Amino acid sequence: MDLEKDRKISQHTVLVVEDNADLNNLMCMVLQNAGYQTESALSGSDALDIARELSNIIMLLDYKLPDMTGREVIERLHAKRKKVPFIIVTGQGDEKVAVDMMKYGARDYVVKDPGLMDMLPHLISRIDNDLSLEKKLAHAQSSIARSQAKLSILYRVSTAISQTLEIDRLLGIVLETVTDLEFLHVGKKGGILLVEDDRMHLHSHLGHSDEFIKLHQGMRVGECLCGHAAQTGEIIVSENCNHDIRHTIRYPGMQPHGHIIIPLHARGRVTGVLYLYCTSPPVIDNEKKELLTSIGNQVGIAIENSKLYEDTKRVALHDPLTGLANRRMMDIVLDRNFQRARRLKSPFSAVMIDIDHFKEYNDRHGHAQGDRMLIEIAGILQKETRKIDLAIRYGGEEFLVLLTDADAEHALDFAERMRKSVEEREAVTISLGVASFAEWVHSKNILIEKADRALYEAKRKGRNRIEMSA
């Protein structure tokens, strides 16, 4: 994905109102990567001060703030006759808050996922979505019941696509959710084709034969009904495949059926199509088309954001040279594992590693070779660690490994494997310090300090060795 190509320039400044400083910073980073200028506030009072000073802002507003609720922020702005478009951030599954805030003029809402990074791409998707919920509500003012039903459908889809950024699981969830929407009257049969250049690839499906799958892999944009929807970017409603000349792909045993085909849009282009089989001739009026367009935009942006998520995750949580986790990722995992070890009395160990005489190696061979050595050591680390462990570039030529469910004996075994592997394969050696969790260790930082002191002792005693912290 070419992030530079996809950057957008906006006249609006996004004001991120979130009291968790780390989460606030990450939100701003993702929005800046998408081309937005940002301001941040850690409280409702800070948000009010900034909102009163700036014009052309969109507020990304956490509902629960330390000094007031998101609703109070909006009420105080309205009292000053200041109307600010805003997107409300709700807790997982808090539909009541989302619907309530629509009455105060929320353009959209985003569900705060349990995982920090999972949440970020969806923030951009809500801002990029050009069909705001405010506009949709305006078309449904004559009926509160219809408006709430519409919001419930959008909320249902939004919540479903917020569950994951793994593309295969995401598409499966989308299919299950959309085929269960009662207003469409569709069967449990359909699929999602993603556009790649001039071809379309079937990435997820329900209820299809092997023959169908074979015929639809690698079909061209413009071919059959789905290809036509991808080419035009318009929703297609077809009552009967046998009477529709656009339905050109046929296969043995194909029964007459209707179709609803929804283009999936993201950033001005079609990324794929969602096609559904109808159990009866489909009746899609303008209001339903608008709702389907919104769903298509949500799904399309979610697909694109799975790529943005991976890019952002690499930049935010990984060392660009070695590909190992960086210290930001270390803080997240260390805190989680340390709290788990304290709560469950489960084993947990840390191993600090330093390349011996690395400065001399760099001076003798040059920095390019020094970088190559760091990459090779990182490769050995990745090979020796388990999926549940975390290998980190701690800084310079130092590495740290967090070993989940590993006591001192297992940690020493791991350290010896690392020491021998480096000694046998590389032109350098390493020194290692090992520390394991104990009940008297009341801080995660103490565990790291113990491993660091053990490493210093290993270097003091001659290097190319392992020391265990007391």
| Active-site residue list | 397
Cα 240 off chain centre by: 39
For residue 355, report the phi and psi dihedrals to the nearest 5 degrees: -75, 125
Among 441, 432, 442, 440, CA closest to 411: 432
In angstroms, the CA 375 to CA 378 distance is 5
- Dihedral sign (CA 67, 70, 72, 74): positive
d(CA 370, CA 396): 11
Alpha carbon 360 to its chain's center: 42
Q: Which residue has the tokens 């694109």?
A: 304
- Give the count of beta carbons closer than 10 Å to the beta carbon of residue 202: 21
- Please identify which residue in the block is written with the tokens 């490493």: 455
Helix (H, G, I), strand (E, B) or coil at 43: coil
Q: 333-359 burial, b if ≥16 CB within 10 A, otherwise e?
A: bbeebbeebeeeeebbbbbbbbbbebe
CA quadruple 168, 392, 314, 316: dihedral, nearest 10: 120
Structure tokens at 402: 């967090």
- Strand runs (DSSP E) across 85-235, as ranges? 86-90, 108-111, 186-196, 199-206, 219-220
Q: Which residues pair with 237 in a beta bridge?
A: 260
Which residues does 236 contact at the CB level (< 8 Å), separation at least 6?
225, 228, 229, 246, 259, 260, 261
Helix (H) / strand (E) element for 59: namely: strand 57-62
| CA 359/CA 93 separation, integer angstroms | 53
Please enumerate in sequence order all residues whose Cβ is within 8 A of that of 55, keeping only pairs 6 or more positions apart, or say none.
none
Distances (CA, A) of 28 to 36, 218, 345: 9, 38, 37
